Amino acid sequence: EAQLKAINLEVAQDASKLQKHEEDIQIWKNSIFNTSQKIEFLDEEIHELDEKLQSLKSKRLELSLDKRSFEGIVQEKSVKSRILKQQIDLSKEEIEKSRQKVDMIRDKIDKIFKSKASSASETDPFLSHLDKQISQKTTELECPVCFIVCQPPILRCPEFHLVCGECWPRDEGVWGVQDSVWRGG
């Protein structure tokens, strides 16, 4: 009987140990379950972040392509701008050469008219009279702004001042007269 009691006591102790182990196993199973749920939650979050990362990478690629396109446009416009600047410079040079030619031609014409006038006035009084009349009319038709003989359209103010069609917009208010008062002459 003592042996039976000892075995019963040992069985009771083993049963108590078994119950303790089963409780520990249940605690660990709960910990495993909770950890699995946390892992699943983290996996979902990782998946969402991966999708967001892919979306951001896609947007970055799109923006990079846009940037390359814009750089190409800027480069193309820069080339066109340089070409236009060169063309403008060439045009300015041509204009300056043309002005010099016009000045030379005017000088030649003035010399020819002076030589003709001096030789004609010495020989023919009628030509001398015509030259004086032309000179007087030329002076009367001279634009007071640019000092060149007016070409049509010739405008005048109510005071009968004449001004050429190119100068009247620049001459606004010189005689205190507004645009609406200018009339063709």
Q: Can you spell out the DSSP letters for 17-80?
A: HHHHHHHHHHHHHHHHHHHHHHHHHHHHHHHHHHHHHHHHHHHHHHHHHHHHHHHHHHHHHHHH
Q: Please report, as a single letter, which amino acid is at residue 109.
A: I
DSSP-based three-state secondary structure for 178: coil
| Distance spanning both ends of the chain, measured CA to CA | 152
Residues 167, 146 contacting (CB under 8 angstroms): yes
pLDDT value at 6 more than 60: yes
Q: Please report, as a single letter, which amino acid is at residue 79.
A: V
Residue 182's pLDDT is: 47
Across the beta sheet with 154-156, the strand order is 162-164, 154-156, 183-184
Mean pLDDT score, 103-122: 78
Task: Give the best-scoring range by mean pLDDT among 7-11, 85-89, 168-172.
Answer: 85-89
Residue 42's pLDDT is: 97
Residues with Cβ within 8 Å of residue 102, at least 6 apart in sequence? none
From 87-91, 116-120, 158-162, 169-173, the region with the lowest mean pLDDT:
169-173
Nearest to 143 by CA among 114, 121, 169, 104: 169
**Verdict on whether the full-model pTM lies above 0.85:** no
pLDDT value at 151 more than 50: yes
Is the backbone peptide bond immediately before 153 cis, with ω within 30 degrees of 0?
yes
State pLDDT tens for residues 137-149: 888 888 877 888 8
**For the chain, percent of residues with pLDDT exceeding 90:** 53
119: pLDDT confidence band, cut at 50, 70 and 90?
A: low
State pLDDT tens for residues 34-93: 999 999 999 999 999 999 999 999 999 999 999 999 999 999 999 999 999 999 999 999
Residue with tokens 């204009």: 95
Residues 150, 139 contacting (CB under 8 angstroms): no
Task: Give the best-scoring range by mean pLDDT among 13-17, 117-121, 153-157.
Answer: 13-17
Nearest to 138 by CA among 102, 110, 111: 110
Residue 4's pLDDT is: 86
Residue 185's pLDDT is: 47
* 22's tokens: 């089963």
Residue 174's pLDDT is: 56
* 113's tokens: 């008219």
What count of residues does the chain have?
Answer: 185
